Copies of this chain bind each other. A is one copy, B any other.
């Protein structure tokens, strides 16, 4: 049984050992829960698995939109092992819960996709905001939804992503209200993490990016914005998820929201400068 929100281990090796233990539990069927706080210090990733003839366009879409779609790893076609993310990372078994789609319709939710694996599938793993939130908290920048223990507020904007072939759609953002002094620090800190969404895309007036009512979220929970605070908006991993679902490829597998892949990468390793 995995304990949640344990202390972050002191060494990189111990953080990786924990990540491997989480994946081993997911692989054996002993763990199929949400991954927030499950392996402090570890990089977690969103998952999208597509047929090879959709892979180039999707990789190019992500490259053109690096803030919402920071790619951590791409498998070789048909190869379920993600060597970029650690030893023995098997994308068929190591995610706690998967969703399987045919032509845009969900046909299964499962804890193991071995029976669905094909020689032409390519797995994409995309960075998530857990990594930079950990850096914010460790630097003393309060994160409202974490303090309230609710899900982060997420909004569709009117900013179009740069399209690539069959992939197009609006930028989706997450929001964290902050005092200006904390927002400045948060811009510095998240700029160091371009592989997990990087610096914000906007702060201040929500209507400037097409958000009509900050209290009406598209995903997650609304959070209160206190006097003196400004909403700060970051590119969100829901963007590629929504874009790939809208493209309705003939076959696709994703992680179930909040059930992410825990990798051997350590958040501190991703930091630039």
Contacts and interface: CB of A to CB of B under 8 A. Distances in A.
A64 B82 CA distance: 12
A64 B76 contact: no
Contact of A56 (B52, B162, B191, B272): B52
Given A84-B162, A164-B76, A273 B55 contact: no
A194 B194 contact: yes
Nearest to A53: B56
Nearest to A56: B56
Which of A60, A188, A194, A272: most chain B Cβ within 10 A?
Answer: A60
Contacts of A71: 63
A31 to B, nearest CB: 29
Contacts of A56: 52, 55-56, 59
Interface string A64-76: 1000000100101
A46 to B, nearest CB: 16
A67 B146 CA distance: 35
A165 interface: yes
For the complex, would chain A's binding face be called helix, strand, loop or mixed by DSSP majority? Answer: helix
Contact of A273 (B64, B74, B162, B191): B191
A160 to B, nearest CB: 13
Contacts of A59: 56, 59-60, 63
A124 to B, nearest CB: 10
A266 B31 CA distance: 49
B52 A273 contact: no
A123 to B, nearest CB: 12
Contacts of A162: 84
Nearest to A52: B56
Given A191-B272, A273-B273, A84 B60 contact: no
A90 to B, nearest CB: 19
A125 to B, nearest CB: 12
Interface string A214-225: 000000000000
A183 to B, nearest CB: 16
A60 B72 CA distance: 11
- Interface centre among A56, A59, A64, A71, by most chain B C-beta atoms within 10 angstroms, is A56
Contacts of A272: 191, 194, 272-273
A188 B273 contact: yes
Residue from A71, A74, A162 whose CB has the most chain B CB atoms within 10 Å = A74
A155 B162 CA distance: 37
